[in-house]
Chain A
């Protein structure tokens, strides 16, 4: 490391500027349409063929010359930095947009594009794209996560698929042996991926409908204490070469149960045949409910774009009008549920087996992170969760600190 690099890193904010200075905006790598040049950014998907598919969609649009940038690496950070400058994308997918991006007027209002079709979008993923009654991003697909379990390993150990958090803790312990761990929640022990799941399972919320902290309740500490129990029992797989989003640990037999996404289903099916099942995160306590997290990358228009109107027209064509392309994008390369309910209902691949269970869980138990759950709140909560799980810190005390921080953050953004 050199002094100049220290200067740059130390300068914090400057890096955003610099990355923007040096970035290739993709405006010149050739689309095929006439009209204004639009650059469209996607994060790198794991499924093969997705990149070619989105380039094909862009090439099929004739009213603008759309060039696609397929961006590996920390996509969320890249787009956040690029939106500060004029050299960012015109249209882009975003894991959000975040409340700060909306309040900072970085993304355009897309409400008018939803005329006549708004009710067809899955409300669980449309709600977090809606602020002040306006819609700021078009959900592209619905992604969800669930618990995969290996049927044969459970029956060998005399364990039934867990329906409560206590049963999950018990099952994970019984399924742990010298060679196989009971459960894989990610290499961080679940602090990152679980998010609000244990709280939802205990019948609580991250943020209430009236904008207050939704987990200032003893049930929260009780549920989080049980996640620590999994760690203390040494039932959790930790340090796997591939993290929770990849089903490798599960199909290689390193763990009997794994938390992962619907996108992993084709791989698991291919490797294990029928020897697996899926479950929502199990409920905890009398007031608890099973839960699965749902989320969606949204297509958005940058307000710094010189061609906002053309960008909106393109997004309307792709993510509102072209239902065949939306279905292809959701189901042609990996497993995602189409964001349009009419498409999800008629999708053949989602009608049987574990995929059908996943769709049912999404409908019955799907929970999306609310827009008011800002990155600062998420990061404070994740830190606390990590300390509770791994350090055995007191859930009560950790949650008290988080409640204070989240309350302050809610006051800031409301």
Chain B
């Protein structure tokens, strides 16, 4: 179609050595940047006029004012007398509480389902396939509303279901036995964390040694010592109590234990099940991407199955799995903002309330963006680091 166009004769450049191509590039860049600047300037001047017409002051001074909004469910202590700033912090904590636990549980569930899809058991693989198809093809918001309606339809506190002793499921949410965590318990947990860090360093040294002389070294006794025995010793020496607090029904409500509010619980279930369907597909394709020959070779070497999975299959599968997994984690975190639909107060919901109360739309949206960009960058940073660690090293 285009071949019959005669080629234009080469034109002499007006600017000499500085070619036509560079000139054109400069022209396009100036044009696009000019348009972008013009649009932003137009929007900006409109906004300034509108804000002054509505007598809305700009700036983040409102963060120091008393918020006056109630927050039903939070880890941090909060009262309506606190400032907007503190309300935002509480909202961020709520978002993180959903995102972190959601990511962990969705990964576990998704991996199980992804492996099930590859099972030799026909029934298991079919059920896993149906699970994936159904959950992937229904909007998350609809699933979230569905779970929330189901939570509300649960019996009242007095008639709560007790699947296991000490666990209650009612329209007040899920109530679990808990261990009260105070300063002494935190000391013990801190020791365990330190032990974990120390173990990490020691393990690297052990692997380096193995690289030199080829002898495998057992790392688990050191792990046991540092992560379990040492904290246990500290616990005994300090006399820390680990008494479990059992929830009890008193009057119309529960006393003691850990309460997961219905909003939080519904949001968590919806995010976990929805994301696990996507994770299952990622895990499946990752495992399938390992060439058959690798399985055969490992089998031929007579390796134990757990060793084979850990040392041969998973390292290769992970290279395919990790990058798309990162975007699923980011999606889950962003999707937690649907909380606003059922009244769980995450950072988006609190920003929205703030916006309605103060009219500080630009600042509230800027805060949401800042929070999510920070979280996204954090997850990307961590996952990229992990990805670089497991990536194929070609020599």
Does A pair with B? no
Contact residues of A with B, CB < 8 Å?
none
Contact residues of B with A, CB < 8 Å?
none
